[in-house]
């Protein structure tokens, strides 16, 4: 695993928790770092890409493996203060 990759396992969490936890994790990352999110909530397939656009980050990948959805997100240059 690269030092630039942070893994976040949100399996079993239901809306709105996956998007809220993803937002919190992204805001704690330095620009250019990558966050890999795995979740099982079907609504995350809509909510997380929307969050990424809203935050100014880059969705580098999205895929399914069974019930799980994996997102790979590169932190953009907009920086927010941690919550």
The residues that are catalytic are: 15
- Helix spans in 2-79 (H): 17-27, 44-55
**Phi and psi dihedrals of 44, rounded to 5?**
-60, -25
- Read off the DSSP letter of residue 16: T
- How far, in Å, CA of 36 to CA of 6, rounded? 6
């Amino acid at each position: 695993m690269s030092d630039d990759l942070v893994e976040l396992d949100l399996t079993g969490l239901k809306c709105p928790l996956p998007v809220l936890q993803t937002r919190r994790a992204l805001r704690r990352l330095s620009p250019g770092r990558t966050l890999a999110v795995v979740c099982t909530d079907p609504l995350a397939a809509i909510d997380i890409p929307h969050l990424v656009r809203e935050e100014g980050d880059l969705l580098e990948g999205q895929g399914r493996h069974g019930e799980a959805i994996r997102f790979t997100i590169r932190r953009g240059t907009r920086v927010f203060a941690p919550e």
